[in-house]
Amino acid sequence: MIRRFVTRSKLRTFGILRRNMSRSDGKEGLQDEVVRSFLTLESLDPNIFRAPTKTLWHPTGSRFIFGGQVVGQALVAACNTVSPEHHVHSLHCYFLRGGNSNWPILFHVDRTRDGETYSSRNVKATQDGKAIFTMQASFKTDEKQEYAYQMEMPQVPGPENFKDTDDLLKMRLDAKGISDKEKDYINRMLSNNISILIRPLDPHAYYKVKPAEPRRLIWMKANGNIGEDYKLHQCVAAYMSDFSLLGTALQPGGSNYRTRFMTSLDHTIWFHNPFRVDEWMLYELFSPHAGNGRAFCSGRVWRTDGTLAMSIAQEGVVRVEPKSQTAKAKL
């Protein structure tokens, strides 16, 4: 159970999250775990919110806190300043500095514009007085019109045909000839409680066991009921969208290359149609270019009924070197 870090009397919890965190049986469910451990913010002012250090997630093998968490939290802050009728339709982010789990993050929201159909917000995240992240988000009310079209969803087997990443890692632990170093790394990976289910369609490409084209397909969903508030589903989706995206650019190198450094530079999401993050969605990812120390990746998220839910784009720093070069450097 994840305990509360602050009392209700000392702060105003974000309204959307507060409504969705209540349960009639008095118990905490996974919904509370996802929200409280990754997305809960303390409200310090109508336009200023804080993410406590104990809620910041530093993934295994990463120098910084998870970028998707900062995106999700920034969207939480922005959502708290718009009307219930306005939902985010696009957001554009820049990562300026790596986030540190030793400092709380402050999110400053600028209520740039409020209109009947569209509203705009700018969010700046700071740590220790320095800007680490900015986001511009646009919200709109629902609008119906007859003209609409979309591309077709890839035809792939359903999620029930594939294994979760945790199960795949556990299978690797049981493999013959695995080194103690790899065992330690896998055990640390398994200790990451992200409350998200990920099922790659091609595990060998996903884990870079073999070189593969820079394209991957994964089934993904939140591991529990998130509730009925669509804004909360959008915030969790923003958090989830950063999983596996930049890693797509590493697939052509397979296990022949070692990653020296990798981090996100920017992140963009367009929300097309309503969805639920606690239901399976297909994440289609591809990387059309990598070079000059950077890689560009994009993706589409599909509902199981074939509806296009989101489009995503990201550029990041990707620095790799051949493993043979690493071996020479050690001699």
Residue positions annotated with a catalytic role: 242, 264, 314
Q: Return the SS3 of 298.
A: strand
Output the CA–CA distances (angstroms, integers) from residue 145 to 115, 206, 216, 271, 294, in the order listed: 20, 40, 33, 17, 40
In contact, 139 and 86? CB cutoff 8 Å: yes
Kindly report the backbone phi and psi dihedral angles of residue 241, in degrees, each rounded to the nearest multiple of 5, phi listed first: -65, -20
* DSSP character string of 112-128: EEE-SSEEEEEEEEEET
In contact, 308 and 302? CB cutoff 8 Å: yes
Residue 61 token pair: 């093998």
> Is residue 61 exposed (0-12), middle (13-18) or buried (19+ Cβ within 10 Å)?
exposed
The 8-class DSSP code of residue 102 comes to T
In contact, 112 and 78? CB cutoff 8 Å: no
Residue 119 token pair: 């509203």
d(C-alpha 38, C-alpha 61), whole Å: 19
d(C-alpha 263, C-alpha 269), whole Å: 18
